[in-house]
Amino acid sequence: MTIRWLIISLTLANFNNLDAHPLRLSLCEIEYTSSTKLISIHLKLFLTDVNEALLFNPKSDELAFCQPNEPIKANELLLNYINRFFYIKANGKRISLKIKRKRLSGDGENTALWVYFELSQPVILESLEIKNNIFTDLFFDQNNIVYIHLDDESKSIMLNKKTAIHKLEF
Amino acid sequence: MKQQFQLVFVLCFFLLNSCKENRTSKNSKLETEEELIERALKIHKKVLTLDTHADTPIRMIEPGFDMSKRHDPNETGSKVDYPRMKEGDLDAIFFAAFVAQDIRNDKGNSRAKSLCIQMIDSILVSIERNSDNVGLAINPQDAYSLEKEGKRAIYIGIENGYPIGEDLSNVETYFNKGVRYITLVHSSNNDLADSSTDPKGSEHGGISKFGSKVVSEMNRLGIMVDVSHGSDSVFYDAIKLSKAPIIATHSNARAVTNHKRNMTDEMLRLMASNGGVVQLTMLANYLREVPPNIELDSAIAAHRFKMKDIDKMTDEEKVFLRKEFQEINEKYPTPQATVKHVVDHIDHIIKIAGINHVGIGCDFDGGGGIEGVFDASEVMNITIELVRRGYNEEQIAKIWGGNLIRVFKEVQAISERIKSDSSA
């Protein structure tokens, strides 16, 4: 019983409510370069949101992203979550996502986790369908900005709970 | 003689206090709450109400988002559309085109410019499509003339100087598209200036050499220099470098809420001597310290303790658990920031800098929105609280737009002077 309350107290000391950062925002950059025939995807997510989404605890350090002690399950949990709320369909076909690398930027409440994916796209890209309602299970007002760079052209869209999917044709 | 002096002093004290009492009693003792609200709403309708910062353009790039339709903020999170501006009697607004900071090289700069122009174009298209109700404003007096026509005035700003890249001519490109203020920097350092929130700290020691050229170019063209999001050194550099008064489009008072995005009393005094203006923002964390919520923390911790191992949970179980956590959050809500916190900051800025140096920049659609001023339809509640605290119509007119318009006029007058000096 004592151990149980000790754990609760420790969790309490570590708890920070969901007001930690004021912006309910994530950033996604999708880049296609015809010369390299590669699609790269960068997701920039607030780390507190990632921890809340995966572990129901914004301040948890259990998954120790990008640290030497990052457990093997960290990528699996992260990818499982991303696959529930995010996809890319190139020419109508859903791309299978594999995390290429990750990094952290910023500090404190503004620490961001960057997740990188890179995929081969040997056929000319004619359409791109994007779903991105990441963190809308946590926040009704979550907005996800998506920048799309196709060779020298750039476009931005905003996806959220109401408008989760958008298709672009080239 | 000494006794006579004391008597005169005591009489003066009572006279002054009775005068003060009369003013208060007129407002709060004889006037009912309904009468006070009615008086406040009349003032709100009469004065020019101008909000200097809304990130609504990020909504405009949401596929299918229609600014002419009323949206439910509790359903979509959207805080501004034209029907709600009308409901709230918000006469004018600066829509800020925002591009997130990214790689600082030619490729990154070129992309940022392209994205910024796309965002400005989305504002212009929205104005064009809704020209019965709104109009593009590029000069200070446009807000008043559009108000007379029964239209909302839409001004354009840029939040983050990143899309200027390293090309000074871009400043004029944006000016020609209608941009009338530029926030030098956002949450990370850029080529112009240091951010107040970049974890790497100072890179330029304030405004960079290129940033100082940008400030001069903004002065020449008549674009207001916005120091919100900048480090403290950016503020001091801007005061020194700018030939025109500067603005902070969405910042609060640090003495009231200790946040590095807010301004110290020394900065507020300098803002007053500079002739500039600080526009109060509705971001909860800049308005008050988050109060402790022991009940919520305990309930959440206890619930977490009962949780099954995450690895062993199905997606359905996670969805159910999320619902349970949300119910706990609803059961023990954390007290929100309110309009009283907003006016506490206004009171403080007026105490330090004076009535001529404060305004309002809600930061709707960028994190702004509090209890009582959750979206554009509720901005009249700021006026009601100002009236409740004894502010009169003349003072409220200054706070709600007069001060910003004065600065804007001054910025344009200095621009004209610079242009005529250089052509002489």
Residue B11 in domain: no
Give the 3-state secondary structure of residue B115. Answer: helix
Is B342 found in the same domain as B272? yes
B192 interface with A at CB cutoff 8 Å: no
Give tens-digit pLDDT for A89-100: 999 999 999 999
Residue B140 in domain: yes
Residue B310 in domain: yes
* Partner residue opposite B305 with nearest CB, options A8, A159, A166: A8
Q: How many CB atoms lie within 10 A of CB B144?
A: 15
Residue A123 in domain: yes
Residue B39 in domain: yes
Work out the pLDDT band at B424, boundaries 50, 70, 90.
confident
Residue A3 in domain: no
Give tens-digit pLDDT for B322-336: 999 999 999 999 999
Does A126 score more than 70 pLDDT?
Answer: yes
Give tens-digit pLDDT for B297-320: 999 999 998 888 888 899 899 999
* Partner residue opposite A56 with nearest CB, options B100, B311, B321: B321
- Provide, rounded to the nearest whole percent, the portion of chain B with pLDDT above 70: 93
Does B60 score more than 70 pLDDT?
Answer: yes
- Among residues 37-96 of chain A, which lie with CB inside 8 Å of chain B? 54-57, 73, 77, 84
SS3 helix, strand, coil % of chain A, rounded to 5? 20, 40, 40
Q: What is the reported pLDDT for B244?
A: 98
CB of B95 closer than 8 Å to CB of B57: yes
Among the candidates B334, B353, B387, a domain finishes at B334
Q: List Cβ neighbours of B24 (8 Å cut-off, separation of 6 or more).
A: B390
Q: What are phi and psi of A30, to 5 degrees?
A: -115, 125
Give the 3-state secondary structure of residue B82. Answer: helix
CATH number of the domain that residue B187 is part of? 3.20.20.140
CB of B114 closer than 8 Å to CB of A154: yes
CB pairs under 8 A between A and B: 109
Query: What sign does the dihedral B170-B175-B177-B179 (CA atoms) show?
Result: positive
Residues in A closer than 8 angstroms to B302, CB to CB, are 8
Q: What is the reported pLDDT for B308?
A: 87
Q: What is the reported pLDDT for B228?
A: 97
Work out the pLDDT band at A157, boundaries 50, 70, 90.
very high
Is B257 found in the same domain as B122? yes
Compare all CA atoms of chain A with the CA of B308 and give the residue at the minimum distance: A55
Residue B20 in domain: no
Among the candidates B310, B334, B358, a domain finishes at B334
Q: Considering chain B, what is the average pLDDT of its residues?
A: 93
- As a whole number, mean pLDDT of residues B385-395 equals 98
Residues facing B94 on adjacent strands: B155
Write out the residue range of the structural domain in which residue B216 sits.
33-291+336-423
Pairwise CA distance, residues B245 & B224, whole Å:
8
Does B257 score more than 70 pLDDT?
Answer: yes
Q: What is the reported pLDDT for B28?
A: 52
Tokens standing for A151?
């060779």
Q: What is the reported pLDDT for B11?
A: 42
Query: What sign does the dihedral B286-B291-B295-B301 (CA atoms) show?
Result: positive
**Amino acid in the structure at residue B13:** F
Tokens standing for B410?
């001054």
Residue A92 in domain: yes
Write out the residue range of the structural domain in which residue A84 sits.
18-169
Residue A2 in domain: no
- Among residues 197-256 of chain B, which lie with CB inside 8 Å of chain A? 197, 199
- Among residues 361-420 of chain B, which lie with CB inside 8 Å of chain A? 366-367
Query: What sign does the dihedral B339-B341-B344-B349 (CA atoms) show?
Result: negative
Q: What is the reported pLDDT for A82?
A: 98
- Among residues 268-327 of chain B, which lie with CB inside 8 Å of chain A? 283-285, 290, 293, 296-298, 300-302, 304-305, 307, 310-311, 315, 319, 321-322, 325
Compare all CA atoms of chain A with the CA of B189 and give the residue at the minimum distance: A106
Residue A74 in domain: yes
Residues in A closer than 8 angstroms to B315, CB to CB, are 84
Is B101 found in the same domain as B242? yes
B330 interface with A at CB cutoff 8 Å: no
Compare all CA atoms of chain B with the CA of A155 and give the residue at the minimum distance: B115
> Which residue has tokens 């009912």?
B32
Does B30 score more than 90 pLDDT?
Answer: no
Is B360 found in the same domain as B304? no
Among the candidates B314, B334, B354, a domain finishes at B334
* Closest Cα in chain A, distance from residue B227 (Å): 19
Work out the pLDDT band at B29, boundaries 50, 70, 90.
low
Residue B199 in domain: yes
**Domain total of chain A:** 1
Is B210 found in the same domain as B341? yes
Is B220 found in the same domain as B145? yes
Residues in A closer than 8 angstroms to B111, CB to CB, are 147, 149, 154
**Residue B10 C-alpha from the chain's centroid:** 45
Residue B23 in domain: no
**Domain total of chain B:** 2
Report H helices in B149-208.
Answer: 169-176
Q: Do A18 and B115 touch (CB under 8 A)?
A: no
Q: Do B367 and A23 touch (CB under 8 A)?
A: yes
- Among residues 136-165 of chain A, which lie with CB inside 8 Å of chain B? 137-143, 145, 147, 149, 152-163
Residues in A closer than 8 angstroms to B311, CB to CB, are 73, 77
Pairwise CA distance, residues B182 & B192, whole Å:
11
**Amino acid in the structure at residue B262:** N
Does A30 score more than 50 pLDDT?
Answer: yes
Which of A11-20, B63-72, B187-196, B207-216 has the weakest average pLDDT? A11-20
A103 interface with B at CB cutoff 8 Å: no
Residues in B closer than 8 angstroms to A18, CB to CB, are 329
- Among residues 2-31 of chain B, which lie with CB inside 8 Å of chain A? none
Strands of the sheet with A93-94, listed across from one edge: A93-94, A86-90, A127-132, A165-169
Residue A1 in domain: no
Compare all CA atoms of chain A with the CA of B107 and give the residue at the minimum distance: A152
Residue B13 in domain: no
Is B300 found in the same domain as B287? no
Does B268 score more than 70 pLDDT?
Answer: yes
* Partner residue opposite B115 with nearest CB, options A12, A54, A154: A154
